[in-house]
Chain A
């Protein structure tokens, strides 16, 4: 069965330092993978997605993620954190086994950015 693990429930970084949010997935098929961001009291917004094209995916606001099949990982990175990056981040997997119309959410990682 599919699953998504976000290895850290909370990450704290200083402004201007790199961000790394970790995601591992389980899938029997070639998955599509997504990262969403949720700012406080807001809905979710797509940051980036991987759909079997280039393994290094660039998203909005300077974020990027690399799909590593051998490690079943899809970690999210950003070279330099901004205060506006403080939010909840969700890793999501979708493949042919998830009933074609469902997706599997990870539990989320809360990112704090210290001035």
Chain B
């Protein structure tokens, strides 16, 4: 049982390049999330998916797109990377159905855009 996995762990992009961050969970969770973490700002929600086939914007969605490929996988795409997207990105999953369920986090992807 691997929990939540993320690839890659590190990535350096040039401004304007694109990339996709991959996330998968093996806990049969319905909800999945993408956050970014910046110094002094805590975690900010980019997008989330309440269930397979649905996605919704979070607090900071501009410059990102997501795909809930199936129940297990939730990817985050940067179409044209900007230096402001330099951050650590975390994927999380949660068993939907009520607010009492905790989130499970992946190890993170450290992205630098030059």
Further contacts, 11 of them, CB under 8 A, given A51-B100, A100-B99? A9-B40, A34-B102, A36-B105, A43-B105, A43-B106, A43-B108, A46-B102, A46-B104, A94-B99, A96-B99, A100-B50
Stretch at the interface among B14-22, B41-49, B70-78, B79-87: B41-49
Q: Name 10 interchain pairs, CB-CB below 8 A, sorted by A.
A: A41-B108, A44-B103, A44-B105, A46-B103, A49-B102, A94-B100, A95-B99, A99-B56, A100-B98, A107-B42
Q: Is B96 an interface residue (CB 8 A)?
A: yes
A102 in contact with B90 given A43-B105, A46-B102, A51-B100 (CB within 8 Å): no
Residues of B within 8 A of A95 (CB): 99
A44 in contact with B31 given A31-B99, A100-B50 (CB within 8 Å): no
A101 CB to closest chain B CB (Å) equals 4
Shortest Cβ distance from B91 into A: residue: A43
B37 CB to closest chain A CB (Å) equals 8
Shortest Cβ distance from B32 into A: residue: A101
Q: Is A32 an interface residue (CB 8 A)?
A: yes
Q: What string of 1s and 0s marks CB contacts (under 8 Å) between A78-115 and chain B? A: 00000000000010001110111111011110000000
Residues of B within 8 A of A42 (CB): 107-108
- Interface, chain B (partner A; CB < 8 A): 4, 31, 40-43, 45, 48, 50, 56, 58, 90, 92, 94, 96, 98-100, 102-108
Shortest Cβ distance from A34 into B: residue: B102
B82 CB to closest chain A CB (Å) equals 24
Q: Is A26 an interface residue (CB 8 A)?
A: no
Bound-state Cα–Cα, A31 to B42, Å: 21
Shortest Cβ distance from B50 into A: residue: A101
Q: Is A45 an interface residue (CB 8 A)?
A: yes
Contact of A101 among B31, B43, B104 (CB under 8 A): B31
Contact of A102 among B42, B58, B100, B105 (CB under 8 A): B58
Bound-state Cα–Cα, A15 to B56, Å: 44
Q: Which 9 A-B pairs have the closest CB atoms?
A: A94-B99, A51-B100, A43-B105, A44-B105, A107-B42, A101-B50, A32-B100, A43-B107, A32-B99
